[in-house]
Amino acid sequence: MFTVIWRPSALNDLATAWVSSGDRRMVTEAAERVDRLLSQKPGDQGESRPLNRRIMFERPLVVTYEILEADRTVVILGVRSY
């Protein structure tokens, strides 16, 4: 298991997505799936990006994150709606 940490700026991004969404339940459920999936197998999720970052599409969210293998930690760097 990995510990999932949301940077404060990512939480602010998530709050913005939630407030502006026409379906807040969908945003909430997507954020819960992100937490669950990234805590289990973060390297199997999304796509790789430069600078050891990854991007995950969990409708209606796009999540940018970094895996710190040695610490068994995932840091969510940013979130946006799509």
Asked if residue 26 lies in contact with residue 61, where contact means CB atoms within 8 angstroms, the answer is: no
pLDDT of residue 68: 96
- State which residues form the domain around 61: 3-81
71: which 2 tokens? 């610490």
Region 49-76 average pLDDT: 96
Tens digit of pLDDT for each residue in 9-60?
A: 999 999 999 999 999 999 999 999 999 999 999 999 999 999 889 999 999 9
Total domains present in the chain: 1
Which CATH number do you get for residue 35? 3.30.2310.20
- Is it the case that residue 82 has pLDDT exceeding 90? no
